[in-house]
Amino acid sequence: MPEGLIVKALSGYYYVLPQPAEAQAGAAAETIQCRARGLFKKQHISPLVGDRVSYELTDNGEGTVVAIEPRATELIRPPIANVDTAVLVFSVVEPNLSLQLLDKFLVHTEQARLDTIVVLTKTDLAGPEENEAAEAAAGLYRAIGYPVVTTSARKGEGVGRVKELLAGRIAVFSGQSGVGKSSLLNAIMPGLALSTNAISHRLGRGKHTTRHVELIAQPGGGWIADTPGFSQLDFQQLEAGDLGGCFKEMRELAPGCRFRGCQHEREPGCKVIGAASAGQVARTRYEHYLQFLTEIKDRKRRY
């Protein structure tokens, strides 16, 4: 049975790139437009972009996805399988940088066990104060261990660095609408010409220009997925006790806490509380941790 890689999902169709072509980076290869087999729905399985699948050809030149290989990784928002790297794209302005939202995205990529890179965009649009705040944020996240690149797709700044970091990787771009995900990808791969759109100044956010998830082959090997922007993220799949493990710097401190399963809230002998009051864990990070913890516990209470 033929095998392939789902490179795009749109309106109930999965676009599967056949295996041998995929091995040649897939640049010019034709995809097969497939439906998912009916059984998947009954089993509550939906194929994802990034899935390695087996498919059958049907009479009309289309195909049916009949089997999905076990996934190495899986992200729910944006929905994608088998990526190794998440690129969290946040604009310095238009829309303004929100560290709370960034920390929320980081919890999700940590939970999915992805390597994560933070890219700050639109430095050319930002004033000196906003750029200073962005540099401070970059320093904060670098200290935690995340690569951070400040960029301007308009001026071509930082674009080469992002490209270097992603070479050979299977990466997904993730971030709010209008932050410049598609613009950055276009800058990384000249000739790509993904659609981009000015943000709505009335609403202060993007217009949801990108409507589907699509993997794009990197010329030198590896893939990058462009995705639709979103800003609503919940902690549906996360238990309160697992939240600390999704904050990299707290995860490293937790073994030193007096109590096993310490939630770093008000327990005595807590290393995280100690580090937060000494300024070794950033104030914003610890605050966001407590906010998310409350959010998770409130959710539990509601059910």
Measured CA to CA in angstroms, residue 238 lies from 3, 105, 129, 153, 198 at distances of 33, 13, 36, 35, 35
Structure tokens of 260?
């096993």
Residue 125 or 233 with smaller CB distance to ligand GTP: 125
How many whole angstroms from its chain centre is CA 4?
23
Q: Does 174 bind Mg ion (CB under 5 A)?
A: no
Cite the beta strand spans of the chain per DSSP E: 3-10, 13-18, 32-36, 52-57, 63-68, 74-75, 80-81, 85-91, 115-121, 148-150, 170-174, 214-217, 223-226
95 upstream amide cis, omega within 30 of 0: yes
Q: Which stretch binds Zn ion (CB under 5 A): 39-47, 87-95, 212-220, 260-268?
A: 260-268
Which of 150, 182, 218, 263 contacts Mg ion by CB under 5 A? 182
Residue 157 or 242 with smaller CB distance to ligand GTP: 157
Structure tokens of 48?
């994802």
Cα atoms in the Cβ-side hemisphere of radius 13 Å centred on 161:
16
116 binds, among Mg ion, Zn ion, ligand GTP, none (CB under 5 to 8 A by kind): none
Q: Does 257 bind Zn ion (CB under 5 A)?
A: yes
Helix (H) or strand (E) holding 135, with range, is: helix 128-144
> Residue 148 and residue 29: Cα distance in Å, rounded?
34
73 binds, among Mg ion, Zn ion, ligand GTP, none (CB under 5 to 8 A by kind): none
Give the nearest distance from C-beta 84 to Zn ion in angstroms.
30
Residue 208 or 258 with smaller CB distance to ligand GTP: 208
- Residues in the site for ligand GTP, rule: CB under 6 A? 121-122, 124-125, 152-154, 175, 177-183, 196-199, 206-210, 228-229
Q: Does 151 bind Mg ion (CB under 5 A)?
A: no
Site for Mg ion, residues 202 to 231, rule: CB under 5 A: 209-210
Q: Does 238 bind Zn ion (CB under 5 A)?
A: no
Give the nearest distance from C-beta 195 to ligand GTP in angstroms.
7
Q: Which residue number places its CB atom closest to ligand GTP? A: 229
DSSP state of 59: T
Beta-carbon neighbour count of residue 126 at 10 Å? 22
DSSP state of 271: H
Q: Which stretch binds Mg ion (CB under 5 A): 15-23, 69-77, 178-186, 294-302?
A: 178-186
Give the nearest distance from C-beta 63 to Mg ion in angstroms.
28
DSSP 213-268: -EEEE-TTS-EEEE---------TT--HHHHGGGSHHHHHHGGGSSSTT--SSS-T
Residue 187 or 250 with smaller CB distance to ligand GTP: 187
244 binds, among Mg ion, ligand GTP, Zn ion, none (CB under 5 to 8 A by kind): none
Binding stretches for Mg ion (CB under 5 A): 181-182, 209-210
Binding stretches for Zn ion (CB under 5 A): 257, 262, 264, 270, 272
